[in-house]
Chain A
Amino acid sequence: MSPARRRKLLWQAVESAILLGALFLILFPILWMALTAFKRPVDLFGLTFLFTPTLDNFRAIFAHPWNIGHTLLNSFIVAAATVAISVPASTLAAYAFSRFELPFKGALFFTILATQFIPAVVVVLPFYLLFRDLGLLDTVYALIVVNLAIVTPFATWMLKGFLDAVPTESEEAALVDGATRLRVILDVVVPMIWPGVVVTAVFCFILTWNEFLFALILTRDDAVTLPVGITRFRTERGDLWELIAAAGILISIPMFLLASVIQRHFVRGMTGGAVK
C-alpha cells in the first residue's frame, strides 16, 4: 500500500469516527429520554438498556393529579390560535413590503426584524402587570397575546422571502383583467406561495409550542402549557424522572415530525433568507 493511499484511508477512518461521535451525541440524549419513559422507577438507577418496558408512566401522567391531557390541550390552543392570528396578518404585511413602495420602508422593516432580538424577559414584565390588573393571569388569552410578539416578526420576514421569489406576471394580468388587489392577493398570490405559508405556519407552531418563559411567568394552574408542565414533576418527594421523560416524549414527537417535514425551510426561516 502506498503511503498516500494509507494516509487517505487513515483520514477516512478519522472522519468516520468523528461522524459516529457526532451521531452519538445528537441521538443519545433523545434515545435515553425515550427509554426512560418506559422504565419503572426502580430501573432508573440501573443505567441499563435491558429492562421490562412499561406504559405505566404514560398512564400516570394522564391521570390525576397530573392531568397532562389538559396541559396538552392548552399547548395546542395557544399554538394554534397564535398561528391563526399571526400568519394571515403577516402575509398581508409581507405582501405590502414585497410589492409596494412605502415611506420609511427600511426603518419599518428594520423595526419588525429587530423585535426578534429583544429578550422576552423585558417584554413580559409590563404584560405581567397588565394581565394582573385585568385578571387575565393564568389564561390562554394572555399567552396567545404575548406569543404573537415572537411569532409575527418571524412570519413576516419568512413570508416576504417567499413573496420576493414569486414572479409578478400573473398578478399583473389579473389586475389588468379588472380584479381588485385584495382578490388578487387571495386568489392568485396566496395559492402561489401556499407551500411557504404552510412552512411558516408550522415554524410558528413549533416556536409557540416550545415557548417556556412567558408560560412560566403568566400561568399557574389552568393555562399551563407543556414546557412548564414538565417542571411540575419535580416535587417535594424528589424529581419523578420517568414521568418527566414520558411527558417529554409527548411534547417532542409531534415537533420531530413537523420539523423533519420542513427541514430545508427551517434554516432559511431562522436566518431570514440570509443563507440560501
Chain B
Amino acid sequence: MRDRTLKYLLILPAALIVLGTTIWPLAVSLVTSFRDWRLTRSLAPGPFIGTEHYVIAFTDDPDFANAAMVTALFVLIDVTITVVSALGLALLLRRAGVLQSLTRAVLILPFAVSPALVGISFRFMFNAEMGVFTWLAGVLVPPLQNFVWLADEWAALLVLVFSDAWRWIPYMTLVVLGGLAALPKEPEEAARIDGATELQVLRDVTIPALLPVLAVVAILKTVFALKMFDQVVTLTGGGPGAATTTLAYLVYSIAFRWYDMGYASAVAWILTAILVFLAIWYMKLILRKPGQT
C-alpha cells in the first residue's frame, strides 16, 4: 500500500477513539446545554431554550457564584503553594547527599496513589476523634486541640488543598528537577566567579532560566486544580455547607442529585471553556520550538 493512503489509515483508529470518546460527548453536552432536560420530568430531552442556562448561571444562581468563588480560591492557593514548594524543594535536592537522594527516591510515591484514596485517607487523618493530623496540630498549636477541621469552612478548604498539594508537589518537584538538570552550568559558575552571592545567582541567573519550566508547572497545575474532583467527593463531600463545592463537583451534583442534565451541561461547558483557553496557552508555550508541528 502507498504511504499516501497508509498514513491516514494509521491515524484512523486513534482518531476514531478520540472522536467517539471525547469530541462526540463534548458536542452532545454543548447541544444539551441549550435544552431543558430534567430527568425527574422526562427521560427524553425537552425543548431548546436558547442561552437561558448560561444566563441563569451568571446572573441568578448563588450556587454557581459560590462554586466559581470556591474554585478560584482553591486554584489560587493550590497553584501558588505547589509552584513555590516544588521550586524550593527542587533547588534543595540538586545537591548530592544521603538525605537528598532518599527524598528524590520517594518523590514519585504520592502521585501513584489514587486521588480518591488520598481524599479518604486525609479524611481519616483529619477525623475529629482519631485523626493523627488533628492530634498533631493540637500538640504543635495547643489552641487547635479540639478543632474539628472538616466542620470549619476555611479549614476544610485548606485540608482539601493540603491533600491535593501532597499528591502534586513531589511530582512537580521532579519536573522542576528535570528542568534544572537541563540548564547549562556555565552562567551560574560565571556569576559566582564574578563574586555574586548564592542568593543573587539564584535570583538573577537560575530562576530566570527556569521560567519556561515554571510556567509549564503553573499552567498544568492550574488545569488539574480546575478539574480536581475525586478528593472533593471522598474528603469533604463539598462541605461543610458548600464551602468546598468546586465547579466540577457542582456539575456532578446538578446532574446526579437533581438530575438536571441541561443545566449541568451548561455549567460543565463553562468549565470546559476556561480549560480550553488554558490548553491553547499551554500548547503555544511548549510547541513554540521551531520545526515542530
Spell out A's residues near B (CB within 8 Å). Answer: 15-16, 18-20, 22-23, 25-27, 29-30, 32-33, 36, 44-45, 47, 85-86, 88-90, 92-93, 95-97, 100, 102, 105-106, 108-129, 145-146, 148-149, 152-153, 156, 180-182, 206, 209-210, 212-213, 216-217, 226-228, 230-231, 234, 239, 241, 244-245, 248, 251-252, 255-256, 258-260, 263, 266-268, 270-272, 274-276
| 6 pairs, A vs B, C-beta closer than 8 Å | A23-B99, A32-B132, A121-B229, A121-B271, A123-B21, A271-B286
Question: Is B125 a contact of A32 with CB atoms below 8 Å?
Answer: yes
Q: Which of B17, B23, B226, B251 has the largest count of A CB atoms less than 10 A from its CB?
A: B17
Total number of A-B contacts with CB less than 8 angstroms? 278
Question: Is B25 a contact of A123 with CB atoms below 8 Å?
Answer: yes
CA–CA, A239 to B252, complex, Å?
23
CA–CA, A153 to B286, complex, Å?
16
CA–CA, A213 to B231, complex, Å?
10
Question: Is A255 a contact of B261 with CB atoms below 8 Å?
Answer: no
Q: Which of chain B's residues have a CB closer than 8 A to the CB of A32?
A: 121, 125, 132
CA–CA, A153 to B32, complex, Å?
25
CA–CA, A129 to B278, complex, Å?
29
Q: How far apart are B27's CB and chain A's nearest CB, in angstroms?
A: 8
Q: Which of chain B's residues have a CB closer than 8 A to the CB of A20?
A: 99
CA–CA, A215 to B47, complex, Å?
30
Given contacts A15-B92, A30-B113, A121-B252, contact A149 B22 (CB under 8 A): yes
Given contacts A216-B233, A241-B124, A255-B113, 14 further A-B contacts (CB under 8 A): A26-B106, A96-B11, A97-B11, A111-B18, A117-B279, A119-B268, A122-B26, A122-B271, A126-B28, A152-B18, A212-B230, A213-B230, A241-B130, A275-B182
Question: Is A259 a contact of B112 with CB atoms below 8 Å?
Answer: yes
Closest A residue by C-beta to B226: A119
Tell me the dominant secondary structure on chain A's binding face.
Answer: helix
Let me know if B54 is at the binding interface, CB within 8 A: no
Q: Which of chain B's residues have a CB closer than 8 A to the CB of A256?
A: 109, 112
Question: Is A47 a contact of B130 with CB atoms below 8 Å?
Answer: yes
Let me know if B141 is at the binding interface, CB within 8 A: no
Pick from A146, A181, A251: contact of B1, CB under 8 Å: A181
Question: Is B32 a contact of A125 with CB atoms below 8 Å?
Answer: yes
Question: Is A102 a contact of B7 with CB atoms below 8 Å?
Answer: yes
Type the 1/0 row for B266-293, where 1 means its CB is closer than 8 Å to any CB of A: 0011011001101110110110000001
Pick from B129, B179, B234, B255: contact of A231, CB under 8 Å: B234
Q: Which of B62-70, B72-80, B145-153, B168-176 contacts the other chain?
A: B168-176
Given contacts A29-B125, A180-B1, A259-B111, contact A93 B135 (CB under 8 A): no
CA–CA, A11 to B157, complex, Å?
34
Q: Which of chain B's residues have a CB closer than 8 A to the CB of A275?
A: 175, 178-179, 182, 213, 216
Question: Is B113 a contact of A113 with CB atoms below 8 Å?
Answer: no
CA–CA, A69 to B256, complex, Å?
28
